Amino acid sequence: MSEYQYYEFRAVEQQLTNQQKTALREISSRAQITSSSFVNEYSYGDLKAEETDLMAEYFDLGFYIANWGEVRLYIKLPRNLISEHILRQFEWDDVIEHETRNDQTIITLSMPEHEEYFGYIDDAYEHLDQLGAIREELINGDYRSLQIAWFALLSLNGTDEFEEIPLFKQGNINSDFHQLTPAQKYLADLFLVKPQWLTLMRQRAPEHANEKTKTTATQTNKENWITQLPKSEKDNLLLMLLAGKATQAQHQLQNQYKKSNRQAEPQVLQLSINELHQSYQTASEVYAREQQALAKQQARIAQKKHNDYLHDIYKNAFRYWNLATFHADKKTAGGYDEATRLFNDLHDAYHLNNNQVKFQKKFSEFIAANSNKPSLMKRLKQRGLLT
């Protein structure tokens, strides 16, 4: 099996300088380097730098995938905008790790090596587009991606090596698994999380108020807080915007808002394996019932759509009889296939409308006029339309 590795890094806070781009070019002569990104693929060899070193020096987001089953997401953000207390509770070697460099925290989320990815890489360049929002979610106090990374560990490795695992406390509004963000759903899919784990989290917490109500209340609170900001602080933020430091101004404002509102961190519990197995069993049963209900609903929708199609055929039967005859008269394999399909649909449409006798009369007339087409007759017999 040939080797394949894909690296992508992005600068979010500020663009790379020419000096930085020159330094990156010395690391790789083949990489695609812009003022905000570094992308390279390897079918042999390796990146001549440590990913976390590149993150510390140049970038805010990073992604790595290899066709022997490794996937990693790197996130760097100001240290004062992330809870190290929560990071420490979720940390696990080679799955969720973090380190601090120059007042910046670098988080690494890794999917345990898994054979499903062996030899298969699909659209590697699209993944970071889908996952990038997780950085802002963490800054805003949404830590559900850490829980998802743990679920990947449990989904792929099982629970035998653990005595207990971290879980967000039941009822935390900022750990609500009833409505994951698009980036969190993408992370769960990419990291091969079994849906039963997400069901477990939904079962452990009631569904909170709808998103529109929560958003409106939060927006009102922010507007009231902004009106009370001292003029000097507003002026300072505007100067930062004029200086091209929009992201830094945003983060400074977010940090001030968090401190003034004393936003509570989600509480994390350490759940024993015995409790975990009981919760997982219940969640598995609930998930199975949900899937059965979903399958029935989808079947009902599909049946209604098909019946609507058949009613349309019955309503416009004259046109469909002519169309079937037109395809039969082509005397080609494709024409016979299409004629057979149309006759089958006409049969079902007349049956649905309790008019089988009329169908059989018209169909018998067609057979009498086209019995010299053995290939068509064979197809109609195989469909059960002709005995």
The H or E element spanning position 46 is none
Is the whole-model pTM more than 0.85? Answer: no
SS3 of residue 246 by DSSP: helix
Q: Convert the pLDDT of each residue in 338-381 to its tens digit.
A: 999 999 999 999 999 999 999 999 999 999 999 999 999 999 99
Q: Are 58 and 38 in contact (CB under 8 A)?
A: yes
More confident residue, 381 or 245: 381
pLDDT of 320 over the 90 cut? yes
Strand partners, 96: 92, 109
Q: Are 175 and 144 in contact (CB under 8 A)?
A: yes
The H or E element spanning position 93 is none
State the pLDDT at residue 69: 81
Domain residue ranges in the chain: 5-207+267-290, 316-382
CA pair distance 84, 107, nearest whole angstrom: 10
Under the banding of pLDDT at 50, 70 and 90, the label for residue 40 is very high
pLDDT of 195 over the 70 cut? yes
Mean pLDDT of 166-192: 84
